[in-house]
Chain A
C-alpha cells in the first residue's frame, strides 16, 4: 500500500483514482446489494447473518479502499481506521460474552402489551 508515485512537488498532493476503478467499484457495490437482498430468500439458518455480514464487509472495504482511497494513502491512516475497529471488536466481544453468561438470571416479565388483570 505504499504511495506509489510520491507527490512531494507542491502541485498535486492527493492521488487521483482512475475513472475505471470508480465505476467498477460502484457497479460491484450495486451488485453486492442486490445479492445480499436476494440471499435472505435462501434459508441457511444461522449462516444467513454471517453471509450478510461478509457481503457488508466486502462492500465496506471496497468503499474504504477505493472511494476513500485508503489504498493509495499513507499507511498511518489505515492504521488509525483498523485500530479503531480493534477496539470496537473488544467492546462488542466482552459485552456479548458477559450478557450471555448472566442471561439465565434475567427475569422475564409478562408481555408489556397484555396488561395482566389483578391475580389475587
Chain B
C-alpha cells in the first residue's frame, strides 16, 4: 500500500503548468477525456449555457405579463415560452446541475481517489446530456413545445407541437442522470480511502450519495412514462388517452412518481453544499454531523412516498389524498433538522462574509420561505385553494431557484479557485449576490399573494385585480437578470486576469484543498491522509499568500 503522509503536510507545489488543465492540449484531449475534472468543467459550461437560455425564456414570460393584454407574445407563443422555460430549467440545468458539474469535479478528489469508478461511463453520461440538449434545441427550432414541462395527457397527445422530440430528449437526459448516479454510488462505496469511514466522509458526499439513490430508483419510471407517451402519439396505444379508454390520472401517477423525487434530486446536493460552506466560513466544526447525514438519506427515502400531493385536485381518490397529505409532512422534518443544525454550526463561530457564505445565508433565508410555504401545499384544505395558482409557482421557485441555484452559485464561487486556479473579485461577488437576493424576492414574493388571491398558473393574460402583483414581479425579474449578467462578467474576467489562487484560500479541510489549485491530473501523488474534515484547528491564515497553510509542524496539537 502507498505511504500515508501526515494530514498536515504542506501541499506539494506543482511545477508550473502541470495541472489538469494544461496536462494535455487541444480540443480532442478535452472531448475524449476520461478525467472527471474535465468532464465536470464541460458539464459546467453546458449547464451555465442552458441556464442562460432558460433565463431568456423566463424574461420573455415576465415581459409578456408586465401589463394586461398582449405585449410581446401571442397566447401560443406564451405557452411555448413557459413550457420551454420549465423543461430547459428542470431537465437541462437543475437536475444535472450540482451533481454533474461540481459533483463530478469534486467527489473523486474528496475521496482521495484518482477518478470516479467508471470514467468511460462518466464521459458517456456527458455525451448523453449533450445529445439530450441537442434534442431540446431541435424542439426549439422545429416549432417549440406547448404542453408544460409535465406533458399531461390527453393534451400532450393531441397537440401538434414537437412533443416527441422533447420527450425523446428528456428520455436521453434521464439516462445521463441514471449513469451519473450509478457512478457516484459505486465510487462512494468502493473508492473511499483507508481511514475514511462512512461518518468521516464530507457531508457533500452524503448529499450526493442520497441524490444518486433517487436518480437510480426514480428516473427509470420517467423513462417508461415518456416511452409510453411517445407510443401514444405514434401508435395511439390508448393507455393514457381517454378517447381510447385510457386513464389520464394514471399518467399523472406515473409522471409524479419520478418528478417528486426529482425535486429532491435538485435540493439534496444544494443542502450538501450549504453544510460545507456554513462550516468552513464559520471556522466551526459542523454541528450534528450524523443528523445531517441521516436527514439526507431520510429525505431521499421519504421523497418516494409523497408524490400524490401534486394530485390533490386531479380527481385522485379522497383516501389517497389524505394518505399523501400525511406522508408529505414527513419530508418537512429532515429539512427543518438541517436548517437548525446549520444555525447551531454558526453559533460562536468566526463568520466571514465571503461570496460563497453570502449565498449560503441567502439559501437559508429563501429555502426557509420555500420550505415553510410547502406546509400550505401539504395541508389538504389550503392546497385545494392554492393548487395550480401562482402560490405554487412562487413556492417551487423559492425552493428550486432560491434553494438549488443559489447553492449552485455559492458552490461555484467556493470551488472556483480550485477549478480555475484564479480568484474572482469579492466586491463584485457580494454585489451580485445582494442584487440576486433583492431581485429574487421582488419577483416571487408578490406571486405568493397573487396566487392565494386566486391567480391561476400558466395564464397568458390576467384580470385587472392581479395587475399590480405581475408588474412588480416583472420588474424583479429584470433586477435578477442584471445580477446574473454581472456575475457572468466578473467570473469571466477572473478567468483571464484574476489573482492566482492559492491551494487553500478558504481554510477548508476536505481533501480537495490538500492538493494544488488547479489540481494535478492524477489528483494526488500518494494517498492523502484522512483526518476529520471539519476540524480546522490545524490550519492558520498566512497573510503573505492570503491562504490557509498547515500550522508549523511543532505547534501541531493532534
A interface residues with partner B (beta carbon < 8 Å)? 76, 83-84, 87, 90-91, 94-95, 97-99, 101-102, 105-106, 109, 112
Contacts and interface: CB of A to CB of B under 8 A. Distances in A.
B54 to A, nearest CB: 30
Contact of B304 (A87, A98, A99, A105): A87
A109 B246 CA distance: 11
27 contacts: A76-B189, A83-B217, A84-B217, A87-B304, A90-B304, A90-B305, A91-B257, A94-B308, A94-B320, A95-B253, A95-B254, A97-B319, A97-B320, A98-B249, A98-B253, A98-B317, A99-B249, A99-B250, A101-B319, A101-B320, A102-B249, A102-B315, A102-B317, A105-B315, A106-B247, A112-B244, A112-B245
B267 to A, nearest CB: 20
Nearest to B213: A83
Nearest to B316: A98
Contacts of A99: 247, 249-250, 253
Nearest to A91: B257
Interface string B265-280: 0000000000000000
Contacts of B247: 99, 106
Contacts, number: 41
A95 B249 CA distance: 10
Nearest to B324: A94
B431 interface: no
A91 B261 CA distance: 13
Interface of B: 189, 217, 221, 244-245, 247, 249-250, 253-254, 257, 304-305, 308, 315-320
Smallest CB-CB A-B distances: 6 pairs = A101-B317, A98-B320, A102-B317, A95-B253, A87-B217, A91-B257
A101 to B, nearest CB: 3
A105 B320 CA distance: 15
Contacts of A94: 253, 308, 320
Contacts of A76: 189
A109 B244 CA distance: 9
B364 to A, nearest CB: 32
Given A91-B257, A97-B317, A99-B253, 6 more contacts: A94-B253, A98-B320, A101-B318, A102-B317, A112-B244, A112-B245
Contacts of B244: 112
A98 B249 CA distance: 10
A99 B245 CA distance: 13
A83 B316 CA distance: 27
A52 B319 CA distance: 31
Contacts of A91: 221, 257
Q: Which of A91, A95, A98 has the most CB of B within 10 A?
A: A98
Nearest to B258: A91
Nearest to A107: B242
A95 B250 contact: yes
Q: Which of B254, B257, B304, B317 has the most CB of A within 10 A?
A: B317
A94 B319 CA distance: 11
B291 to A, nearest CB: 23
Contacts of A83: 217
Contacts of B318: 101
A97 B315 CA distance: 14
